[in-house]
Every structure is written in C-alpha cells, then in structure tokens.
Amino acid sequence: MEKTFVDRGRFRIRQPLLVLRYVVATIGLFSVCAITVREIEGDFRYIIQAALWLCLGFFMVEWILEIFKSAKGGWKTLYSRPAIIYAVAVVPVPLAYAIGVSASNAWLLGSFWLFKFLPTTVSTIPQLTRVISKQAKPLASVLLIYVIILFLTCVGIYIFERNIQPAAFENLPATIWWGFSASTSGIGDVAPHTFWGHVLAMIVMISGIGLFGLWMGILANGLMEESRRHEFIQVWDLVVKIPFLKSIGATGIAEIARMLRRLDLPEMTTVIRSGSIGDCMYFVASGEVQIDLHPEPVRLGAGSFFGEMALLGDYVRSATVVTSRPTTLLILDAADFRSFAANHPEFSRSIEDEALQRKQ
C-alpha cells in the first residue's frame, strides 16, 4: 500500500509504547503527590497504592526486558543510557522498603519516575552539555556582571535600609540573599522602604531579568549553531557520496551542503505527485525511487537526482515519484537551486542536459 510523507513506518511500533510509558509515569507521579495529601490519601488509599504498585511493576517489566535485550547485545549495554534510566526508575523504591524506610517516604522516591520522560535515544542532553561547555565564557561573563551589580546594589540597600528595617536587612549576607531572591524568583515579603532602597531594588531586579535573558539568548544561539553544524556534517557525509555533486569541487560542495536538507523515507512513499506544483528538487543519497512513466517505469538509485524538470520549466511536476526502498533524499529548494545554479554554470548545464534527455 502506498504511504504518504507523514506515515513514517519506523514510528509505528515505538510510538504507542512511548505514549504508554509517559501515561504510566504521569499516573505514577500523580499518585506520589496524592499520598502526601492527607484528605486524598484518606479517601483513596487503596486506589493510590494500587496505582503506585502497578506503575512500579510496569517499569520493572520494562527493565527486565531491557536486561534481556542487553544480554543479547553484550553486558556492556547494561551501562548504556536507556539501561541506566530504567534502573534509576525501578531501584530506589524497593531499596528504600528493603532498608526499612516507611512506606510514605519510600514512595516519595517514585519521583525518580520523572526520568522516564528523558529521551533514551535522542542526543539532546550531550548536545546541551556541549553547548554549555562551548559557551562557558560568555555565560560566566554574564554571571560575573550580575554578581558585581548584585553585590554593589546590596551594599547600597544595606546602607539605606539597615536602620529602618534592622530585622530584614540585618547584615550584608542577609541583604545579598534578599537581593538574590528578589532578582531571580521574587520570593520573600520584604521590600525596601527608602527612596534609594527602591531605586537600588529596581536595579537588582532588572539585573536578574538581564541575567536570564542573556543566558537564554546565548544558549538558544549555541543550540541553533550546534544543530546546524550537526545537520551540515550529516548532509556533507551524504553529499560526498553523490558523484554528480563531486564534480562541483570542494567549495561548491561546502556551499550546497548548507542548502540541502535530509529526508529519510520508508519504501512506497510518494515523494512527488504528477501535476502538482514543485518547489524543490531531490538527490538520492541512498535507496531507490521509481518514476511512474508509461509504458515502463524508470528506477533511479543512489547518486541520481529528480524533480529538476519542474524547476526548469513551469513548476508543474511531469510524473509521480515513489520510493521503492527505504530511501534517503537531499532536498534543494527552488530558491537555493536558482542561486547555486547562477554561481555554478557547470552544475546548471549538467542538470539542464539531463532534463532535456529525459524529456525525449
């Protein structure tokens, strides 16, 4: 049966399992909260206990299955990231029971079920760690500026407020603690009473907002750069495998690798529909596609390209193209195609020649 873009085969089995895991973890965490609320715990004790044991049982079964899987792949995989996440979710509660911790306290360790929400395969956390370590200098500089402003303004607040509110601004450390909480979470019911106290408190609060704003900006920028770099490396690896692109030279490859987007598709997925409007062309990095032509369909394998005719003509697709195997494509948008072709006449000539041949 023909599939469409969104029908990605590889998600089909993993997705319901993932959803079930999230549902169980959510029920478990709600139950952990519920046992600490006396009114709820009193009325629904048995339901909550049953939910907690069921969640623990579910995670235990998941862990045991993971251990069996690991045994096949070698015991080293027991120390893998998913295996550690499974263990951290299961071990603490029974361990607490075993060493004699009271049931109400032992179940609080069910909070570790939060780790079930961590992705086991996606490399988001190493990526974030890399960004933090790369951006350590700007992050630290912003923190240093914040600390300087906080310290100096708190000295001022202490001078102006200590006689009016001796209990609240008793000494400099207490004033700095107040300044820190006011500039970050805003907790506390203490506020300066003098004019200059108010002015300095304003500076403290703005510096806190500035700290977080700048940190977010630095991290967001770093994450974007990191994912762009990651995608570039992935695309580069695929681009160098396409003989046609090799002919445009190293600088050309570097230029086009920035423009291309990777698309992984399962077999029997329609990539192009005849008669539709086309705004990109494709390079086959691996796998195979079938062009539905009459009387004989044509198959294009790794290294070839398609979808160029629409870009060279009236943007209307001339044939339907379907993947005949799991396929990795590289997409070049029409605008990028135009600017790249303008800078690399040999590239546009080769594509035009091929399109002319295909039309015959």
Query: Which positions lie near ligand CMP, rule CB under 6 A?
Result: 272, 278, 291, 293, 298, 306-310, 317-319, 321, 358
Q: How far is the CB of 325 from ligand CMP (least distance, A)?
A: 17
What is d(CA 31, CA 122) in angstroms, rounded to the nearest whole number? 28
- Smaller CB separation from ligand CMP, 175 or 320: 320
Q: Considering only CA atoms, which of 241, 165, 229, 240 is closest in space to residue 201?
A: 165
User: Helix or strand or coil: residue 226?
Assistant: helix
Q: How far is the CB of 346 from ligand CMP (least distance, A)?
A: 19
- Smaller CB separation from ligand CMP, 108 or 256: 256
- Smaller CB separation from ligand CMP, 295 or 345: 295
- Smaller CB separation from ligand CMP, 90 or 309: 309
Q: How far is the CB of 309 from ligand CMP (least distance, A)?
A: 3
Q: How far is the CB of 218 from ligand CMP (least distance, A)?
A: 42
Q: How far is the CB of 307 from ligand CMP (least distance, A)?
A: 4
Q: Which residue is nearest to ligand CMP (CB)?
A: 310
- Smaller CB separation from ligand CMP, 181 or 350: 350
**And the tokens for 7?**
């029908």
Residue 329 CB-half CA count within 13 A: 28
Edge to edge, what strands does the sheet with 270-272 contain?
270-272, 320-323, 288-292, 298-301
CA dihedral 177, 180, 186, 191 (to 10 degrees): 60
**And the tokens for 48?**
């909550």
Residue 272 CB-half CA count within 13 A: 28
